Amino acid sequence: MRAFYTLVALALVNAGCGSANAPSVAGTLDSPGGSSSETGGESTNGGAANGGAANGGTTNGGAATAGAAVGGAASGAATGGATSDGTAGGNSSGGSTVLRPPPNPCIANNSCPSGTWVNVTPPEVNLDPNLSCSGCNYGALDVLADPVRPSDFYIFICYQGAWKSVDYGMTWTKVSKGMNSDLLESGRPWMGGIDPSTHRDPNTPPALYTASGYGSHLGLYKSIDGGNSWTIYPLKNTQGAASDDVYSIDVDPGNSNHLIAGFHDVGLSESTDGGKTWTTIKVPNGFGKSVYPKFVLTGSAATTSTTWISLAQWENNSNGMWRTTDSGKTWTQVNSKLEHGHGSGEIYQDGKGNIYAAGSSSDGPLQRSADYGVTWAAVKSGMVPQNGVFGTPNYVYAELNGAILDGLDQHLQRSPASDGVNWSDWQPTAPKGMTNGNKRAAVSYDGSHYVIVTGNYLAGIWRYVE
């Protein structure tokens, strides 16, 4: 896992180198649209603590007595509550207990300021990397925003299912308690999808999609009751080694029943009935593994439906990015070098032809296409390693994220959305405790500000108000 991030740095060395009149961005980072919705009945049966140890070392000269942070030893397992120094203890199922600071008082007071990252991880969430098995828990993953109910966010957490916020990401409640939730929580929900239609009845929950990676039952997990219960659908991809080991999902912004999915191994599949049945889309040699496919926002529902772009996981920078305009019948390699890091890779589109992606490439870790993904060029970002991009109508942001247990140093950058080429330091030193970048961010609008919520692996859930 660490190899990719080491080689990112080596490649760079070797190369030498908020408005009141808000557009509709509530929901996923891709601008939602379309009017198709699910019809018919569907079966549901289908960082360091004060005085504690961190990363194997000690802080303030003392060892924790109630537990230890990542890499530290615990003398006992806390089950919530707080240590004597006021540090909150997380729930633990044996082994070490990860300690983290008590919740920011601004959360309870609803007074968190704009322009500041706030850790909003609920105390009930277990960020012990050894939850379930040694080195298995990667923490908080994909965040999704409801395009119809802008106050509602969802997040998937390893071995802890689906959680929901109804106050713009400030507080969270676990919602996966119904059918098949036990199967969902047997694995890692390393992908997330949500119905992007803005025409859904707000009294009807959005369709949610995820997976249970390395869990006891593979397949596409779908909920139509707000994340409470889950139906599991087989995908049976015939090109890859594991037919149901789904890795990524995207929902057509113009047709809520149209989905594309990537696989942990080689493979891509398409569904036109909301994930109930799937067709294998044959991909060319050199397409790569663990891909993130995306519908390209062309400005036309018809061409968006058939135009896709895919970003492969790092494999010596040989697979890169591929693009199709005919639903996968033919493919063109549009970027031969850029590949995402292990377990992460967020692509951002502004809906105006600009697409941003980040990862490992000797051409530059942060790249932009201004022609709907046809051609790509590195932006002017100082060659700072990054692996994920998200944005609002005001800014485009970049962070270094990855499915890696010991975290990644953050050097946060952004560019005005009106520019996109010239990037500057936003917060070169990330807030204390933000020891990883976002797996996936979601953006909503509260009537005055854009609200960004991110799942940052073992660093928990973070919130930023522009």
What is the C-alpha separation between 129 and 313, in angstroms, rounded? 23
This prediction has a pTM of 0.82
Domain ranges of the chain: 1-40+133-466
Residue 289 or 66, more confident: 289
- The pLDDT tens digits for 10-20 are 333 333 333 33
- The pLDDT tens digits for 264-319 are 999 999 999 999 999 999 999 999 999 999 999 999 999 999 999 999 999 888 89
Predicted pLDDT of residue 54: 32
What is the C-alpha separation between 245 and 73, in angstroms, rounded? 34
Predicted pLDDT of residue 153: 98
- The pLDDT tens digits for 84-128 are 222 333 443 333 445 667 788 999 988 999 999 999 999 999 999
Which letter does DSSP use for residue 422 in this model? B
Q: Which residues have a Cβ under 8 Å from the Cβ of 142 and sit 6 or more positions away?
A: 155, 156, 189, 190, 191, 192, 210, 439, 440, 455
Please choose, from the candidates 246, 377, 262, the residue with its C-alpha nearest in 3D space to the C-alpha of residue 308.
262
Question: Could you tell me the CA-to-CA distances from 355 to 145, 242, 434 in Å, in that order?
Answer: 20, 30, 26
CB atoms within 10 A of CB 47: 21
Classify burial at 44, counting beta carbons within 10 Å of its beta carbon; exposed 0-12, middle 13-18, buried 19 or more: middle
Predicted pLDDT of residue 197: 97
- The pLDDT tens digits for 413-443 are 999 999 999 999 987 778 989 999 999 999 9
Looking at this protein, which amino acid is placed at residue 152?
Answer: D
Pairing of strands 424-427, 441-445: unpaired
Residue 317 or 9, more confident: 317
- DSSP-derived 3-state class of residue 164: strand
Please choose, from the candidates 194, 300, 253, 248, the residue with its C-alpha nearest in 3D space to the C-alpha of residue 31.
253
Whether CATH 2.130.10.10 fits 1-40+133-466: yes
Residue 206 or 409, more confident: 206
Predicted pLDDT of residue 22: 38
Q: What confidence tier does 49 reach under pLDDT thresholds 50, 70, 90? A: very low
Two tokens at 173?
Answer: 């409640």
What is the C-alpha separation between 73 and 76, in angstroms, rounded? 9
What is the C-alpha separation between 152 and 157, in angstroms, rounded? 17
